Structure 1
Amino acid sequence: MLSDLLPILTLALLVTLALAGGIVLTRRLIGRSTPSPSLSPQPSDPAAIPAGITVKPQPLLTSAEASFYNVLRLAVQDRYLVLAQVPLWCLIDVEAPSRDVLKGFLNKIALKRVDFVLIHPGTLSVANVVELDVPSPSPARQARDRLLDTVFKAAGIEIVRINADQSYTVPALAGLLGLELVE
């Protein structure tokens, strides 16, 4: 009689073990977060845009900057590549005695951009930085300009400051940049 119950007891034991294993596995899986099939980023996603923020395109240059850019391109001809609105940190190599000092300096320059950069087309090195200056800059703009002057002097990069309120001919701008026009 016991021999007749052995297959049933074995089957019951296997079913009980399978159920217990399933319960343990289910509890472990519930503890893990599973990705949502939704196409929109989740709040914990580093690529997510926070609620209430809207993003839309904007022009890279103002109309005055675009006009100056066109004259600048004609003035430098094919001697230089002209880049606009370049982040300061892209133009310099920074070394520091410690990670904290480096981080502090990079935070200081992180959002600073320069108006125009003249790049040698062969070496791709920075030849000049061209900044458009307004006649009565705000204190914040003055501090930014001092920072740029200090950084570029330390890096050995010439900065050319141009009056933003003035119109320039191609020959006049070439002269301010120390360039001779080639006919």
Structure 2
Amino acid sequence: MMDPIYYLLIWIAAAAVAAYIVDVVRRRPEQANPNGKLPYEKQKNFLSPAEHSFYLAMQNHLESQFTICPKVGIKELICVQKGVGRDWRKYFNWISRKHVDFVLCRPDTMEVICAVELDDKSHLRQDRRRRDEFVDKLFEQVGIPLFHIPVKPGYTHEDFAPVLLLREEFTLK
């Protein structure tokens, strides 16, 4: 009969092998679609009707002072600081799937000047308010002005007044 310590060692070794296999499977790169199915199609519209209307109004009122980039991923604007160690992935995941509606850049350098969120009724939902609060704090932290402009049938020059003030700032540089 085997000594009980051997049973314990065998159990520990089996658990270590199982943990290793689970880790390897988790880290395995995403495999190509094995059966070749591609159940995708082109979106009918890149911008919603409200976003498109707002985009045209921005073009008109900002008079080509900015390059307007719609639907920009926050991860393209903001990165996780070095030195967070193992928490890097956690912090990255908090921003990786979030977008802002528009980003305005200097046309000559593509330096980010500000971001604009077009707030429709969905921004009244509790989950959306939590998301907006996080994004507002994030943009404030990194020094990118973020403007919230409510959706409406038409826009006037006054709707873009805060953005137009930034134009004066960046032209002085």
TM-score scaled by length of structure 2:
0.69
Aligned-partner residue type, residue 141 of structure 2? A
Counterpart of 1:54 in structure 2 is 39
1:90 maps to 2:73: no
Q: 1:146 aligns with which of 133, 141, 144?
A: 133
Counterpart of 1:13 in structure 2 is none
Query: Distance between the aligned counterparts of 1:124 and 1:160, measured in 2?
Result: 19
CA drift at 1:94: 2.1
1:155 maps to 2:142: yes
Q: 1:165 aligns with which of 152, 167, 170?
A: 152
CA-based RMSD of the aligned residues comes to 2.6
Equivalent position SS for 1:104: helix
Corresponding residue pairs, total: 137
Bigger Cα Rg: 1
Which stretches in structure 2 are left out of the alignment for 5+ residues? 1-28, 168-173
CA drift at 1:179: 4.5
1:120·1:126 contact (CA, 8 Å) conserved in 2? yes
The structure with the greater share of residues assigned to helix is 2
Counterpart of 2:52 in structure 1 is 66
Counterpart of 1:8 in structure 2 is none
CA drift at 1:93: 2.9
Query: Distance between the aligned counterparts of 1:156 and 1:180, measured in 2?
Result: 13
